[in-house]
């Protein structure tokens, strides 16, 4: 797709698509994103003009840049230095047939993911013609009318890309796996799972689920081979995926369903799936993409209320430099290394009488309190598969850091898929059905029935309703239904909405979800502090 006319227009409007210079100033405050009516013809206006990087455009990417978001600025650090000519770099090139590049869904300003606000912006400025909205997966289903908001509602409302997987799943040897459960379609608002060409009943039976793109950054953490990475999966003892190049076990923490063992496999999969390449990428292209992704570090660098997060005498766990320097794949759920080290630097700050400075100190103290809640506020975690089932008991009295324990990322160090209820009923966000609500459910709903030959799911029984079976679509295992690999917690402010299915539009909604799910009983102050802490990561 040729973007030259569009780019010319953007430049004329003073909206450079790609900048080398670091950005100053903070983003604007605003209300949480409004939901879209999928039948509407207009898409809500973005909150700010992004620095969107189009594929195949000239320019470069600075070795360090900051990008405004709702809560401040995210920092993007390239450890190997600036990309001087993006046009010649495979990460930024449209390598396939649909005009997309890796950068289409992994934008620096969005912490190497893509935020809903910027999805809406690119929709508006391209009238829905940007390659992001490609029929293959930028639309609810390829058969729907291209370019109509209703056809792309899951991307425009929740930032979701269609992920289509064979059913039954295939093992690493290419042979079909005999699933432990049957899969029925209860609700199919996108029409994709029942479609004769794309659905479960098609010649190539396929399941479509809808997930957020994950940040292609801080990858030394998401692909570590350190603590908890064994030849056998720490959750259930089954063989771990092995890197086809090295033969070594992987952490399986890269994708929502852990289907790709490493960056190379993920890039190859994304090229054929998301970019619709005619053939496999060359070794040089894969090498360049993996090398780029292996040296990008992201984290929030400033907070609009708390100010800089990367002052030399500030907490050591903030900002992208901390990610660059930090040790990958080590436990932080302890008081020696910590998950996100703050060293109590903002525990109690003096007041000067200066309104601005005191407000900043108050914001910093709130972030510190949020950190302390994350580390030390206990609550009862119950019925969460692959957490309660791995030796802690059900329920277990623990803290956020129990699951989110990897130093600097808050991921699981071991193979990290769990079911906290983001996609499984009864906890998943569902549209209230009643005579007064005209909004229809957008997410598909599946009925999973565990076969008699296996024990029932320990916490959900033999019949499970889910919007996304998650890891179970890869393994065919009943106990994996609705389990999702937890993702890193860095650069969160730059990439709403949250959870794999985009069901939380804001960080506050994330906190509210946990509060409901685990009956925590956070006070309003605790919720605000925790939200502020998450926004500073």
| Interacting residues with another protein (CB under 8 A) | 230-240, 242, 247, 249, 333-338, 375-376, 378, 380, 382-383, 388-399, 401-402, 455-456, 458-459, 461
Contact 300, 493 (CB under 8 A): yes
Exposure string (b/e) for 354-367, b if CB count within 10 Å is 16 or more?
eeeeeebbebbbbb
Closest separation between CB of residue 459 and another protein, Å?
A: 7
Cα(330)–Cα(64) distance, rounded to whole angstroms? 26
Closest separation between CB of residue 342 and another protein, Å?
A: 13
Cα(418)–Cα(234) distance, rounded to whole angstroms? 12
Closest separation between CB of residue 525 and another protein, Å?
A: 20
Q: Which residue, 270 or 448, has its beta carbon nearer to another protein?
A: 448
Q: Which residue, 119 or 403, has its beta carbon nearer to another protein?
A: 403
Helix (H) or strand (E) run with residue 285 in it: helix 283-293
Closest separation between CB of residue 425 and another protein, Å?
A: 16
Contact 379, 397 (CB under 8 A): yes
Q: Which residue, 69 or 413, has its beta carbon nearer to another protein?
A: 413
Contact 302, 73 (CB under 8 A): yes
Closest separation between CB of residue 405 and another protein, Å?
A: 9
Contact 422, 512 (CB under 8 A): no
Instruction: For residue 458, give both structure tokens.
Output: 């320990």
Closest separation between CB of residue 334 and another protein, Å?
A: 4
Q: Which residue, 243 or 358, has its beta carbon nearer to another protein?
A: 243
- Distances in Å between the Cα of 199 and the Cα atoms of 34, 141, 191, 429, 450 are 31, 10, 8, 24, 21
**140 conformational bin, left if phi > 0, alpha if psi -120 to 50, beta if neither:** alpha
HSE of 408, CA atoms in CB hemisphere, 13 A: 25
Neighbouring CB atoms inside 10 A of 295's CB total 15
Q: Which residue, 201 or 244, has its beta carbon nearer to another protein?
A: 244
Residues in the chain: 537
Q: Which residue, 16 or 456, has its beta carbon nearer to another protein?
A: 456
Q: Which residue, 131 or 405, has its beta carbon nearer to another protein?
A: 405
Contact 413, 152 (CB under 8 A): no
Closest separation between CB of residue 433 and another protein, Å?
A: 26
């Amino acid at each position: 797709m040729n973007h030259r006319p569009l780019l010319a227009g953007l430049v004329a409007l003073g909206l450079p698509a790609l900048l080398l210079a670091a950005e100053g100033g903070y983003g604007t405050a605003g209300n949480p994103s409004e939901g879209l009516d999928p039948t509407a013809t207009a898409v809500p206006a973005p909150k700010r003009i992004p620095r969107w990087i189009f594929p195949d455009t000239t320019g470069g990417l600075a070795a360090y840049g900051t990008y405004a978001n709702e809560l401040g600025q995210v920092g993007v650090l390239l450890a190997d230095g600036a990309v001087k000519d993006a046009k010649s770099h495979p990460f930024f090139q449209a390598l396939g047939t649909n005009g997309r590049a890796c950068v289409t869904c992994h934008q620096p300003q969005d912490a190497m993911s893509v935020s809903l606000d910027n999805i809406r912006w690119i929709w508006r400025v391209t009238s829905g013609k940007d390659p992001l909205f490609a029929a293959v997966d930028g639309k609810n289903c390829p058969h729907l009318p291209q370019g109509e908001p209703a056809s792309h509602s899951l991307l425009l409302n929740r930032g979701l890309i269609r992920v289509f997987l064979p059913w039954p799943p295939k093992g690493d040897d290419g042979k079909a796996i005999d699933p432990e459960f049957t899969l029925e379609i209860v609700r199919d608002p996108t029409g994709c799972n029942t479609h004769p060409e794309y659905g479960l009943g098609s010649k190539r039976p396929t399941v479509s689920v809808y997930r957020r793109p994950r940040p292609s950054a801080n990858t030394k953490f998401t692909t570590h081979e350190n603590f908890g990475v064994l030849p056998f999966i720490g959750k259930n003892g089954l063989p771990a995926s092995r890197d086809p190049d090295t033969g070594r076990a992987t952490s399986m923490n890269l994708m929502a369903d852990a289907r790709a063992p490493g960056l190379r496999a993920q890039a190859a999969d994304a090229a054929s799936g998301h970019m619709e390449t005619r053939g496999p990428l060359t070794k040089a292209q894969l090498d360049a993409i993996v090398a780029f992704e292996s040296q990008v570090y992201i984290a929030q660098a400033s907070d609009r209320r708390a100010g800089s997060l990367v002052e030399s005498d500030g907490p050591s766990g903030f900002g992208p430099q901390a990610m660059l320097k930090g040790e990958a794949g080590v436990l932080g759920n302890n008081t020696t290394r910590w998950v996100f080290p703050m060293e109590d630097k903002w525990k109690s700050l003096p007041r000067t009488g200066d309104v601005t400075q005191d407000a900043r100190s108050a914001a910093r103290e709130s972030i510190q309190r949020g950190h302390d809640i994350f580390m030390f506020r206990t609550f009862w975690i119950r019925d969460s598969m692959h957490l309660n089932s791995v030796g802690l008991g059900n329920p277990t009295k623990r803290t956020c850091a129990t699951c989110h324990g990897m130093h600097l990322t808050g991921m699981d160090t071991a193979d990290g898929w769990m079911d906290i209820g983001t996609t499984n009923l009864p906890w998943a966000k569902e549209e209230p059905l009643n005579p007064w609500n005209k909004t229809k459910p957008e997410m598909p709903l599946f009925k999973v029935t565990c076969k008699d030959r296996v024990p029932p799911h320990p916490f959900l029984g033999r019949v499970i309703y889910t919007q996304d079976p998650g890891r179970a679509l890869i393994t065919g295992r009943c106990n994996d239904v609705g389990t999702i690999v937890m993702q890193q917690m860095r650069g969160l402010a730059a990439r709403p909405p949250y959870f794999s299915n985009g069901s939380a539009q804001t960080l506050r909604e994330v906190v509210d979800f946990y509060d409901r799910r685990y009956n925590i009983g956070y006070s309003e102050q605790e919720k605000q502090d925790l939200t502020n802490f998450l926004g500073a990561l």
